[in-house]
Structure 1
Amino acid sequence: MSNLEHEPGEVLLASPPASGIEILEPREVPLGGPRAMLVHRTLPQRARSLIGAWCFVDHYGPADLAETAGMVVPPHPHIGLQTVSWLFEGEIEHRDSVGSRATVTPGTLNLMTAGRGIQHSEYSTASTRMLHGVQLWVALPGGERRREPAFAATEAVAFEIGEARIQLFIGELADRSAAAAVLSPLLGAEVRIAPGARVSLPVTASFEHGVLVDQGAVTVDGVEVAPTQLAYRAPGSGSIELAAGAEGARLLLLGGEPFGEQLVMWWNFVGRDHDEIAQARADWQQRLGGADTRFDAIDDDRAPLPAPELPPVRLRPRD
């Protein structure tokens, strides 16, 4: 998914230390034009911009495609990150410049590694009536950010812990391992909790964690978290306590080792400084003009998205 904001702000991807549970409120961002589908964005924000290497969290739907245009994201570029597509309902067609053409469906993780540079597009399929899911980005560590671009689809690992049903799509949980190839220590799982149930999930104590609530009333370590909110918890405990209300709950559990690198994110690019971001933008604009650049060609007839103008000052970390 692209960040479709016309004036994207620069973001320093480095978060302050914390203790206990922080509740991060989403902001609404329209995805597209007049019939835009709204997404709820909880990362990045000023209060906290990273959970491990997770640097971007968009939650959308359930959206009735009779009322919105659904997902219509023409070709656009990325550098320095991996995109993670996970659906609860509906289908999305993915195309990219390494030649991939895949359908994202519930239960299957689509993982695209941008590395040195990739372009891709995403469209909800003609058969989709309701669209509901998340789009996540993972910042690549310094030694991996210029690797060759790639794409892979993997099935989630399904199992139960107490009255919770887990679909593990990244990392390890309760002695199970997902097949997705990520490049820093991470956790990603969908968790469905039965009505009124409580569950204690064993997690890596050195990880920081985020709980993104999709549906239902949830408490995280005793703190209430509402749908579309993201609860952050600092490292230090080897378990996380979740409880659902009378209707049950569905959430995403995200985690990772504190990233330890200062990054700058602007539009669809994750880099280390202004010059890296500016060069990526210039390369993309040159590609739109027909030049051969790091962004290889894509099999998609729709007009690609031009990059917004850079701010009139050098991108730099926020105070």
Structure 2
Amino acid sequence: MSNVETEPVELKCGARTDAGEPTGPASRVDVLGARDVPLGGPRAMRVRRTLPQRARTLIGAWCFADHYGPVEVATGHSMDVAPHPHTGLQTVSWLFSGEIEHRDSLGTHALIRPGEMNLMTGGHGIAHSEVSTPATTVLHGVQLWVALPGEHRSTERDFQHHVPEPVRVDGAEIRVFLGELAGTASPVRTFTPLLGAEIVLEPGASVALTVDTAFEHGLLVDSGDVRLSGTLLRPAELGYVPTGTAALTLVNESQDPARTVLLGGPPFEEEIIMWWNFIGRSHEDIVRARADWEASSDRFGQVEGYPGSRLPAPALPNAVLTPRRNPPRG
């Protein structure tokens, strides 16, 4: 998915200040709200963006999280994101309902369906489009980005598809699309250690999940009221837990099933600059990527089969991109 804001926020994400902080069983959970963002014009679908924000720019290498729906496509709130570029990152698409047609400059033509993960690697440069299909009545899901480490940020374009098998643990159904959790592991290749899983809790269910103490974690609540390690999270909120935590307890305090997405990874130690759909290491990296896209450079290739024009890049700010860092933990 593209960040189609006409004036995208410029972010310089610094090395983490809370890496390695030990925490015990009663680990503090930071509750992060979402920012409402339109994907395009006045009738466009709106998304709830929990990453990046001023309070936290990364969780592991996860650097972007959009949460959208459920929306009725019949009301005109469909997804139609024209061809657009990416550099220095991977995109992860995960649906709860609906169907999206994906096309990219690798020549990939694939459908995104509930319970099936599509991971696209931008690296040096890729372009893609995403359009909800005529079969879609309700569109609902998340779009996530992963920052690539410096040694791999110019890697070749790639596309992977994975359908994780659900596992049952204490009233929870878990689908691990990246990394390892609850005795199951995803075969999908990543460039840093990562965790990505959908967890659906039955009404009143409580589950304790053993996690890697080297990881920090974020739990995004899609539906229901969920208590994460003692802290209540409501729909569209993201709970952040720092490194040093060996187990996460999730309790569904709702009368209905609760759906969540758990993200994790070791603190990302590199400074990155993120603007629009590009991730680089300097202001000049971003300027160059934007110029290459506007010049229709071979760097990004062509997306075949989309019935329309590609997205133009927004104007750059009239200043060098300025740093925004995660705050130190008190």
TM range (shorter): over 0.9
Q: Which amino acid aligns with 1:273?
A: S
SS of 2:284's partner is helix
Between structures 1 and 2, the one with greater strand share: 1
2:230 corresponds to: 222
Matched, 1:161 2:169: yes
Q: Which of 279, 282, 298 is the matching residue for 1:273?
A: 282
Gaps of 5+ in 1: none
Matched, 1:252 2:261: yes
Matched, 1:11 2:17: no
Partner Cα distance (1:106, 1:51) in 2: 24
TM-score by length of structure 2 reads: 0.93
Per-residue deviation, residues 54-94 of structure 1 (Å, max 9, x unmatched): 00000000000111331110000000000000000000000
Partner Cα distance (1:157, 1:206) in 2: 26
1:101 corresponds to: 109
1:157 shift after superposition: 2.9
Q: Which of 285, 305, 319 is the matching residue for 1:313?
A: 319
User: Over aligned residues, Cα RMSD in angstroms?
Assistant: 1.2
CA contact (8 A) 1:264 1:271 kept: yes
TM-score by length of structure 1 reads: 0.96
1:158 shift after superposition: 1.3
SS of 2:134's partner is coil
2:136 corresponds to: 128
Identity %: 52
Q: Which of 277, 299, 309 is the matching residue for 1:294?
A: 299
Partner Cα distance (1:271, 1:157) in 2: 35
SS of 1:250's partner is strand
CA contact (8 A) 2:12 2:321 kept: no
Aligned residue-pair number: 315
SS of 1:282's partner is helix
Partner Cα distance (2:300, 2:230) in 1: 47
2:76 corresponds to: 68
2:45 corresponds to: 37
Gaps of 5+ in 2: 22-26, 326-330
Partner Cα distance (2:39, 2:312) in 1: 15
Matched, 1:285 2:294: yes
Matched, 1:178 2:186: yes
CA contact (8 A) 2:5 2:40 kept: no
Q: CA distance change for structure 1 residues 309 and 249 in 2, over 3 Å: closer, same or farther?
A: same
Higher RCO by CA contacts (8 Å cutoff, separation 6 or greater) = 2
Of 40-49 and 15-24, deviating more is 15-24
1:154 shift after superposition: 0.9
Partner Cα distance (1:296, 1:34) in 2: 30
* 1:179-198 → structure 2 map (5 Å cutoff): 179-198=187-206
2:24 corresponds to: none
